[in-house]
Structure 1
């Protein structure tokens, strides 16, 4: 069985990510990119679906982990009755071809160590051909090959590659995996010391850009920024929503989706988290990715893309993977790519507006794209859509989607006036006013006494906390206050916020875990309302959910007391960053810009 979700740490090299459990097992790695087929898929099956475990032979009495500085270079310390070893794991930054390094040093006593590598291709199904090349082993299947280098010639059979070592204090052994195409020549041997130094230097130079002042949550913010960089494609600037697919929103359930792609709904939250913490280069790269992804006809904009900007993400179910703790089906690809989500237009225009507010204007030529998007919004805002949460139950008039089309017009008007663009301002203002009145008239349910998920529906939705966060209404507006109260009364459990209740019927139950981003949004709204102690209490509850290396999944199961959903989750981390910053700087807000 795979480890608990919160027991994993993240490795990243700016093109892909891996998950390492506390027991020294790498159970997830899609190579060479986020969207590639996993060569280690034990996370969604078992050891036979691929993993690489390095650990002491005798029982481990204590494990502690940390990242070295502001990086994703992971150090794990194993203590046994006989001795202590430190293992350093990293996906090397900018290395071509990509490499995975695992370096183990005995720091006390003597420790027997075992390494077992089981590579699988084709989403954890295909066993490769292992063959020796001198002291090396290469695993080959079709177009793929993975080279193994270790401290001595390993044993190998049809299932795995094995190494057994006895280390005494001061001894060190290095293991390296290299991802290649099978037709390419063998990769050169790696200088592990130099590569680790170069990788840490790259992380250090990046971290030097972070500007947080004396923020009370500075360390936690930095951890989230590190995770955000680990999910960023360093070549294109695209940011994967998570490193994984099919980690369940409720353990044992079937809400298991592939989140290894870029979601436009995260656009402005992410832009603010990066630009508002000094990471201008990364923010600009994200903005430029958004512009490239949206280039063309606005009506053809998608909700989801690969980190390279590809549009084709066919969803399919993987029959041979048993699912995380039996949570099936396991899905690759995401059918949300075909959905209509009008909120994305507000996200995109707002992301460009945020970049302007942080002195990163996208250039006059971009205005033609923005104007085309706004004109498209004017044509489609009255139409139903699938909504922020990608409902697969048909098109509806989602309150938040309508508000986000208002946001597109509002930010477009502000940008046009500030930059002197010649646009039909009066027409835009008229349409913005019409959308606003529509939301106020049909989005607020008098019987419920709150804004609801859809026009005429009675389902509460925690995403409507974004009404004050986006500046649609003041946080102290009576309708906002009533909505917040309703969310607190009906969508909170164990101090955390759920997105909604089950299947349009209030009281039917919780179909998933508490949504971490929504909990951060409520903490920020409470702070805006002057409810400072309540805001702090809720946010500290979220802070306590982070694992030992500062990572957050999408959700938290308040009954099982476990993280759930895909991991680590960008929306959780950017909501965390923005709420944490707002406690010390009220100008760090989408509403304040």
Structure 2
């Protein structure tokens, strides 16, 4: 008898829970490591390259494990404090070991030919190495190395060649790519995989390294491997040391969020990917699976808010230079998303040969929403430029043309329907959040024109902003005085929380208060916020979805803004308690099972965490003065 009930997010599965993966980064690409020590996701050489290890999406799409033989559940997994370096401690029947994993970073010694820079290279850069070291703490432990890369998203098995007679290096080739596995263990090749086994005794160490660097350079011994991992820890700590961190009980989650956001930044161009992964399901076993390895313009303003709040002005400037370099569409507008190298074409395809995470199909490469009309993009770009201008106290000459074109585009399209902030694949509508961001666009453009000394343009744009506000208040508010999802419905939408965050209405306005409280009371499951109710919204897809973590963090901010400090604080505490074991957040949270859903780790969730924490901390500090 078939079970027709929806698949549970906690259904027994060979796929580890999404939140149980550890995230590594070298600011060019990232890796996810499962609790058993297997690399579940790694794309080479950059975030949006085809995967080489992809068991996250298919259990036969590439595997790389370095750990104790026959033991799959570690005793402890932690990040080395202040870093994106993972330390895993294992107990076996005969002893204890510690494994350290890092996508290594070090002093820049020469021009990067693997992923060339368009931004000025920093003092430290990626080594283009995944380095893994093991140290035996007590007793004896049998170490097992299994490396089975499958190139091009699991399509092309590796062909292995031993590099030398000592069996300490082997090259894997496939799909026009070659990577090198180097180790101090003796390697053997078994079909499409390389393997090694060795018994470590107390205080002994060994290592392996995967290289895609120029010339396939790799550590020659465990001393050099350890040195590179140590240098990576120092890099992250030095970077974090430049950030302003509040001395507050939420300091650690803010730090982890900052490290995640930096880890999702593509250093060669300054772009930030929305998430490391593609096609992790929003609905267990369903079709709501998207490729998030690109840069969304709507993330721009939240990225700038977070970076400037943390005093990370260099990263903020790098991101703004990336935006300034982007090629607009034929109308002069910026697309809603771009590739991390600035490319415009993100044509979507599916990989039907992959099973998908826990059977969630299709697996998508590319994102078909890249050419959608989403009128909120102008507000996000212009708000970020205003934030950056106020911080740096100057409006760079190369940004002014963007201000003009985006303000002009917003002026021309704000009356037209679009797909909305959530990229609904149903009929275009007059979404309130899109109108709201149109108001943000013209309001910020007017203020930027004042900074530049152009009073005529400032007045023109201010008048348009006033028209948009009047239109929203005439058509976008229901009989209860609550902001609607779009003009043809009374359904709620969490995106209207942006009215509070962007200052559309003053905190004392009853319509703003009613809207925030309606979402808190009516658009939540166990206190966590839904984007919208899928049975009330034509988004072109089937299936339910989990609560959106960014929306819950937006609600924290909005509650704080309208003076509901206790409710804001309570929700913030609940959100922080559902972080992954390593302090990371995916896109969504399934309240029935306590499982994370969607792509992981999600930059938007961490950006919203920082913004929400900043709001509450600021309110607490002000309260200390009154």
Shorter-chain TM-score bucket reads over 0.9
Q: What does residue range 428-507 of structure 1 map to in structure 2 within 5 Å? A: 428-446=461-479, 449-504=481-536
Instruction: Find 1:364's aligned residue among 368, 391, 397.
Output: 397
How high is the TM-score relative to the length of structure 2? 0.89
Aligned residues of 1:501 and 1:509 also touching (Cα < 8 A): no
Instruction: Find 2:412's aligned residue among 346, 364, 379.
Output: 379
Distance 1:423 1:587, change over 3 A: farther
Q: Map Cα deviations across residues 561-591 of structure 1 (whole Å, 9 max, x no partner).
A: 1000000001100000110111112599xxx
1:109 aligns with 2:139: yes
Q: Which runs of 5+ in 2 are unaligned?
A: 1-13, 106-123, 622-626
Q: What does residue range 50-69 of structure 1 map to in structure 2 within 5 Å? A: 50-59=62-71, 62-69=74-81
Q: Give, in whole Å, the separation in 2 of the partners of 1:386 and 1:489.
A: 26
1:289 aligns with 2:327: no
Q: Map Cα deviations across residues 42-83 of structure 1 (whole Å, 9 max, x no partner).
A: 10010x210111221244665211212321111111122321
Q: Match for residue 118 of structure 2? A: none
3-state SS in 2 of match to 1:406:
helix
Q: Map Cα deviations across residues 437-475 of structure 1 (whole Å, 9 max, x no partner).
A: 1110111122x6521111121221011111011100123
1:524 aligns with 2:557: yes
Aligned residues of 1:78 and 1:84 also touching (Cα < 8 A): yes
Q: Match for residue 11 of structure 1? A: 24
Q: Match for residue 162 of structure 2? A: 132
Q: What does residue range 102-251 of structure 1 map to in structure 2 within 5 Å? A: 102-134=132-164, 135=167, 136-179=169-212, 185-187=215-217, 189-190=219-220, 191-251=224-284
Q: Match for residue 342 of structure 2? A: 309
Q: What does residue range 26-105 of structure 1 map to in structure 2 within 5 Å? A: 26-46=39-59, 48-59=60-71, 62-93=74-105, 98-105=128-135
Distance 1:362 1:208, change over 3 A: farther
1:318 aligns with 2:330: no
How far off is 1:553 after superposition? 0.2
Q: Match for residue 327 of structure 1? A: 360
How far off is 1:159 after superposition? 2.8
Q: Give, in whole Å, the separation in 1 of the partners of 2:292 and 2:72.
A: 34
Q: Give, in whole Å, the separation in 2 of the partners of 1:510 and 1:143.
A: 39
How high is the TM-score relative to the length of structure 1? 0.94
3-state SS in 2 of match to 1:451:
coil
Distance 1:186 1:245, change over 3 A: closer
How far off is 1:388 after superposition? 0.4
Q: Match for residue 591 of structure 1? A: none
Q: Map Cα deviations across residues 296-353 of structure 1 (whole Å, 9 max, x no partner).
A: 7653421111111111211011111101011111111001101011111000000011
How far off is 1:122 after superposition? 1.5
Distance 1:275 1:234, change over 3 A: same
Q: Which runs of 5+ in 1 are unaligned?
A: 589-593
Name the Cα RMSD after superposition. Answer: 2.1
Deviating above 4 A after TM superposition, structure 1's stretches of 4 or more consecutive aligned residues are: 94-97, 294-298
Q: Give, in whole Å, the separation in 2 of the partners of 1:278 and 1:211.
A: 6
Aligned residues of 2:69 and 2:142 also touching (Cα < 8 A): yes
Q: Give, in whole Å, the separation in 1 of the partners of 2:385 and 2:25.
A: 27
- Tell which deviates more after alignment, 98-107 or 210-219: 210-219
How far off is 1:426 after superposition? 2.6
Instruction: State the number of aligned residues.
Output: 583
